[in-house]
Amino acid sequence: MIQNILSIVVALGLLITFHEFGHFFVARRCGVKVLRFSVGFGKPIYRYVGKTGTEYTLAMIPLGGYVRMLDEREGNVPAELRNQAFNTKNVWQRIAIVAAGPIANFILAIAIYALVALLGVQSIAPKIGQIEKNSPIAQTQIQPGDELVSLADESVASWEDVNLVLAGLIGKTGTITVRYQPDGMSSLQEDTIQLNRWLVGDEPSNLIRAFGLSPWQPTVVPIIAQVVDDGAGSVAGFQVGDEILSINNRPVSSWQQVVSVVQASPSGELAVEVLRSQNVVKLLLLPKSTEQNGKTIGYAGLAVVPPKWDDDLIRERHYGPIESLSYGVAQTSKMISLTVSSIGKMVQGLISVDNLSGPITIAKVASASADSGLQSFLKFMAYLSVSLGVLNLLPIPMLDGGHLLFFGIEAIRRKPVSEKIQNMAYRVGASLLFALMAVAIFNDIARL
């Protein structure tokens, strides 16, 4: 719980601070007086007044922030300070100030991805384990053991790349090309797949499996290396060193088989035979129930020694400073495109609003990525920064994109949009944002 809170505070705190600093920095450069720079909402827990009179505050609720600038629309402005008011600046300066927040988020994402590249990018090659029948990938001649090279004309060097490409294919209708390297061969083969509104109306928890793929994994001999105290395995009498021979009189030769049977048997009974000190011992395992991705599965509280991957399947690349920056720009551009595409598909109804996530899901993902290591957490922060930047550019009043819309109209008409129309639009925008937030929080609670 504490780690969840710390993870979300660090992630959102940095992203919001950087976003607001973008507004702050450009506003100062345009000669606008900044009255307050706040990270978070609610009661301030820290306050500091700078030499220029700007009040810097850290508030209790780290789910937003704001930069309050001198503005004649919000109160009386002394005549001697009128030239420092936001509303007196020309439209292009106001556009620059508003756009600076989302742009700062994109710059931060580039910097984070560049840091990831400098640290070294390690991934597992997209070698195929199993193929589901009647799935999109089953339309091809690809076989277990083959390695994906490109999907829908996008190069894929890892399962993360595959997942990102598949995310962009949701709702797709048409033909896509798959290139792969058959196991044991140096040449490449190419096949096509016909999609028809792929996954429209569905909410898959795993896009790779929904496409009919499962990553190849080395065979793990089912020899127990850890027994969780008070777990189902401990209650059944399992000991470290036991080798599982059969479950319900069916022989098993790999840990993957054991996991599949146990997960499919929540609150069931499993007759297990193990080899212990050259003797066959019979045990009765009663798996406990647990929730995973909204589904009830069995859990035994047993673990084996992690498998050793073939060196040729582990891809690791280190980048120099210039290459890292290029990598950061490329990854950020890719994530911007994916985010914009996903929003467009949601508007078209190709992606359900049930996929909207709120602060609870963000906190859970932040915690999980932190558990997975520094690079996973950094990648999550970069993705969140891109999402924050894109969402703020949506042409919805109350968001930066709404202000930019009004300023754009002003630049074309050469006169500002009337205050009456703006106020009406802001009320509609506020209602829409609250509705979206309510849906996102409802989805979060439903996933608990």
Catalytic residue numbers read 20
Cα-atom radius of gyration of the chain, to the nearest Å?
Answer: 27
CB 44, CB 63: distance < 8 Å: no
Rounded Cα distance, 293 and 85, in Å: 51
* Phi, psi (degrees; rounded to nearest 5) at 63: -115, 25
Which of left, alpha, beta for 305 (phi over 0: left; psi -120 to 50: alpha)?
beta
CB 25, CB 101: distance < 8 Å: no
Residue 208 vs residues 130, 169, 357, 440: alpha-carbon distances, Å: 11, 12, 20, 24
**DSSP state letter for 50:** -
* Phi, psi (degrees; rounded to nearest 5) at 372: -80, -10
Per the listing, tokens 């962009």 go with: 168
Q: How many CB atoms lie within 10 A of CB 242?
A: 23
**Given CA atoms 202, 203, 208, 214 in this order, what sign does their dihedral have?**
negative
Burial class (CB within 10 angstroms; exposed 0-12, middle 13-18, buried 19+) of 335: buried
